[in-house]
Chain A
Amino acid sequence: MKDILRSLVDILGERGVSNAAEELWFYARDPGVLEAHFPDYVVAPETTEQVRQVVRLANEEKIPIVPMGNGMALTGLVIPLKGGIVMDMKRMNRILEVNEKARYAVVEGGTSQGALKAYLQDHHPQLRHSLPDAPPTTTIAANVSLHGQGRLTQQYGFNSDMVTGLEVVLPTGEVCKIGSPSLGPYWFSKGPTLPDLSGLFLGWLGTTGIFTKVGLKLYPNKKIRDVEIFVTDRVDLVPDIIYKLTHLEMLEDINAWFQPRPLMFKDNYHITMYFTGDTEEEVEFKRKMIWDSLEEFIVTKDGGFMGVGYMKPMLLEMPQRGIAAFADVPRGGGFEYSGPITLIEHYPDYALKVMELAEKYEVIYSSAARVVSGGHSMMFSISFAFNRADAAMMERVKKALDEATEFALEKGGIPWKPNYKEQRMTLEKLDPNTLKLLQMVKRNLDPNGIMNPGNWEVS
């Protein structure tokens, strides 16, 4: 039998492999509520060639392998459910190229969101990418692999829609380029006009390959950003308000949120609107258009604009540190959320469900829905904070989240970055022929079932 540790050290060097109890304990879990599963090894490659060799070894020896960015999906997607190798990608963090005129960047598979943001600020200040509000340690590759969203999702769709090319190590060890980089040196298109093979990898949560390079669209970074918040106490009006706002085709980002704490926010629904411009005139024009579009709700006294005032720096911060701070509300270092993608017209039903679940399970909630692609859908986050030292509270949060997913599926929604249980619930509901197609893809790409097993397990 092969000495796996020795083989891994041969590929990665001593610094790139660990089976120490400390690393195995840490990489067995993520910050969410799911139970831990221990890996047998943790590796940290620095090159595509190292990734390829490790994957080939894993495939030959039928060892599970789980790619990991920063593990902040919170839904256990990097927990090695069947042991094996966890591959921490963060040492592959180089920004390889920015094509200023074609507005795209090419980054290695472990590059963090924060590093790309800082790099663009330093070297291409007129460009930006769709930065999520997750902590900046999260990686670009992990984000697109789970159809993440960001600050530009309202305008341009899911961050995975912004991919312009991929380099993927297949489960059988081949290195495969997807999109325009498969034909030449440029990374401007992940698919068109070729058959779009990126769909074999995006959204598959690392179960069909490991991203070693990602091409990503960049967008104009306007000189001025501003924010307004519209407040209503009528949840039934939220979809109409968003409809009016998206009709403007002017907003960078729209978030509809509600939370019971601090008390000044209780029982109200807040729609935060971000808008940008290169001149004060442009920004003021947009502000006027926003105000005009919502005037009818002000006239009927169903809502109004709230003073942003002291909250403005926090609201304009990217990413918003305050989002991570939600974990500390019960002084306990944790929160997890279910974030189904659904229709905006279902917002009132989801909102009521959040409050019902919070009451039923005695947990603290917060909810923020992000409008996707000009209003074709939204990501509705159902977030519950927990105290990590309180196992009973964590169990209640787990149950509340399971029930939230059941509700989302009943409403025709799609779970976002679902945990393995939510994936099963989704697969059970899936059209049989769609399921069959998924099985065909998975079996062909990963014949030995080594890639992040336990996730999207369609067999």
Chain B
Amino acid sequence: MMSEISLGILDLAENSLRAGASLIEISVGVSSYEGTLNVSVRDNGCGMTAEQLEKAVDPFFTTKETEGSGLGLPFLKYSAECTGGTFRIESVKGEGTCVKAVFGLFHINRMPLGDIGATVRAVMVLCADVVFSFSADGRGFVMDTRAIRKILGDVPLESAPVMEYIKEYLEENIQETSGEIKL
């Protein structure tokens, strides 16, 4: 079983990569008033047919010909639903997939959000472009690697000073956005 929601998000992003995505949008939104923690991962990968979509949360279904039966989606669905939350996947063949999970923020069964910054950095290593938005009770920020590349010009995103700055940027802004809310 997953120990962090952020690991579940990384697992979703991995699905996106295997669907050939070149852009992955990760969004985490917290509302203490509503008592919800909303997570979504949207990609521009190959998408699924209606039939594949229906089977996507079945732990015994996979399109893979090698190992692995794809427990990621059923895990995440269960972890959201057992906090009184919801889980939804939308997909259009040839256009992409979007997974949305809502967790009960204050529910005793909710896993901690965990290290979302580390998840975003891992996805940045693997995917051409990433958009990460994080908000909590009206505060928040958006990081878009396409905007970062524009600033950097010829300097690669994966060079050490850039990666170090992005790590600090994510950590500080996540911390400030979260404020006093226990995530």
Partners in one complex: no
